[in-house]
Structure 1
């Protein structure tokens, strides 16, 4: 913990608003599955299914990752964001854009699309640009800042491709070539996986007690990921890859990340953060399963669910609870006079509350994976997913309330 620059931490409300909103989007996904039933899990190419996927990728993962960066960059990477005063409007406009995007995708609403595209383009491009400026000016480890910068650049590419795909869907552009694989590659592998790997290289030794990853291995990972992004870009510009080859390219970094997390956890010299370890183990197993499902013909829906709705959310939820505990502790320290002893993070966010959330999330994840094979279980999966994310929101609220009402 000594490497954390708490003096540079932003106001706790800045990252917390993103983290709390991400949990509410998870609940929205569960409610949508509960109400719509198996119509959402019949084809990965159906309009409503694609819209649901963006509830996870933009609403849940997008908010969680932006909120984590607001806190991580200045505190752990020595790279304060240059738009500190714009966090609140950025949060509001981004989530408004997501809300408008869903009917634009699900019902082909041109009116919603006209509003959603500039909102999402503006807010995410601004956020990615601010991240790139921050890591360029920062003083933290160069490999970490390079990894975050590569993730931000991938977000820009995914954003441009997503705008083009939506324009084609709404009839504004004539479809020239299939861009879906390139959009998903830049978004899920470059942005989401790339950022999790960069941040994980710092927080896993700090919060889970694993061995530090050697710089050579970090740079090797970055070279692999950069090469994969070049292959994705080539595919998007018409240099078509064989289907088996493109699936193998997508599965390779997922398998490498998942196996590395599990191996580091099993060989950790100082095991701590037991519930964070469980969330990352659950997420890594799901990512590995999703990578294998990519190779199975006709299992694209299962692969997408394991990656987008189970694996990545488990990783970011575990981190969100850890970050919330630190945010509550920072807020309590700032509220009380200097010299007053404050309770530790573990007392503000008890392990038993995290354990309850983990079990709810594990049950919801298993039921969702089964529903991809047995669509009759979709409503059950939706109910469990709704309960799991509402339970997570309640646990985070309890932690924040404990810090807000604590007195010496």
Structure 2
């Protein structure tokens, strides 16, 4: 904890608005599955299923990751965001864009597409650019800053490809070569996995008590991820990869990340953050199983669900609860007069509430994996997802309320 620059922390409301919104998007994803039923788990190419994927990737993961960066960059990476004061309009504009994108994908609404495109292009491009400026100006660990910068650059590439795909879907551009694989590669592997790995290299030793990752391994990971991104760029530009090669490029980073998380946790010399370790263990196992499912014939929906709806959300939800505890503590310190003794940084978020959220999320995740094999259980899974994400939102609200009402 001594390496954290709490004096550089932004107002807690800045990251908290993103984190809270991400949980509501998770509940919306469950409601979407509850309403759509088994039709959403039959094909990865169905418009409603593609829209559901973007509920997870943009609504849930996008908000959680942007909110985490608002807090992580200045406090842990010594890289303050240059647009920190514009967080509130950025948050509102981004989420409005996601809301409008869903009918554009699901129902081919041209009007919604025309409104969603500039909102998302503007907000995400501005966010990625601000992150790149922050890591260049920052003074934190170089490998971590380069990893975050690579993730931001991947977000820009995914954004361009996503805009092209939306234009083709709405008839603005003539359909060209498939860009879906490259879009997913930049978005999921470059942006989401790349950012989680960069941040995880710092927070796993700090919050879970694992051994610090050797710098050589961090640089090797960055080289691997950069190679995967170059392959995705080549695929997007027309250099078609063999099917086996494309699967290998998709599975290798996922398997390596998942194995690293599990091995580090098993060999941790000082285990702490019990619930956070459970969330990251769940996320690591789901990502590893999802990577293996990519190689199974006809299991594209299962692979996608394990990676997009179980693995990545488990990782970011575990971190979101830890960040909320820090934010509540910072808010309490700012509210109390100087010299007032306040509770410890890890005591404001009740461990019982964290455990309850983990069990709800684990049950919902298992039900979703089963529903991908037995689609008739889709609505049961959707109901459990709603319960799990609303339960997480309630737990975060109770943590924040405990800081708001605490008296010396």
Q: Into which bin does the TM-score normalised by the smaller protein fall?
A: over 0.9
Unaligned runs of at least 5 residues, structure 2: none
The aligned runs of 1:3-402 (5 Å cut-off) are 3-402=3-402
Classify the secondary structure of the residue corresponding to 1:3. coil
The Cα of 1:350 is off from its aligned counterpart by 1.1
The Cα of 1:161 is off from its aligned counterpart by 0.1
Distance 1:143 1:32 in 2: 39
1:109-142 deviation per Cα after TM superposition (whole angstroms, max 9, x unaligned): 0000000000000000000000000000000000
Distance 2:220 2:175 in 1: 37
Distance 1:385 1:344 in 2: 32
Normalising by structure 2, what TM-score? 1.00
8 Å CA contact retained: 2:326, 2:346: no
Distance 1:345 1:358 in 2: 21
The Cα of 1:62 is off from its aligned counterpart by 0.1
1:354-390 deviation per Cα after TM superposition (whole angstroms, max 9, x unaligned): 0000000000000001111100000000000000000
Classify the secondary structure of the residue corresponding to 1:345. coil
| Count of residue pairs the alignment pairs up | 408
Distance 1:94 1:7 in 2: 28
The Cα of 1:233 is off from its aligned counterpart by 0.6
Distance 1:126 1:236 in 2: 23
Q: Which moved more, 1:149-158 or 1:339-348?
A: 339-348
1:225-279 deviation per Cα after TM superposition (whole angstroms, max 9, x unaligned): 0001000111111111111110111000000000000000000011000000000
The Cα of 1:344 is off from its aligned counterpart by 1.5
8 Å CA contact retained: 1:248, 1:295: no
Classify the secondary structure of the residue corresponding to 1:37. helix
Classify the secondary structure of the residue corresponding to 1:358. helix
Distance 2:359 2:372 in 1: 20
Distance 1:297 1:160 in 2: 30
Distance 1:59 1:230 in 2: 27
8 Å CA contact retained: 2:41, 2:301: yes
Distance 1:49 1:32 in 2: 10
The Cα of 1:405 is off from its aligned counterpart by 0.1
The Cα of 1:175 is off from its aligned counterpart by 1.2
1:332-353 deviation per Cα after TM superposition (whole angstroms, max 9, x unaligned): 0000011111112332101110
Distance 2:296 2:135 in 1: 39
Distance 2:357 2:345 in 1: 17
Distance 1:347 1:50 in 2: 40
Distance 1:381 1:344 in 2: 37
The Cα of 1:84 is off from its aligned counterpart by 1.3
RMSD, matched Cα: 0.5
Classify the secondary structure of the residue corresponding to 2:271. coil
1:276-328 deviation per Cα after TM superposition (whole angstroms, max 9, x unaligned): 00000000000000000011111110000000000000000000000000000
Normalising by structure 1, what TM-score? 1.00
The Cα of 1:88 is off from its aligned counterpart by 0.2
Distance 1:341 1:212 in 2: 32
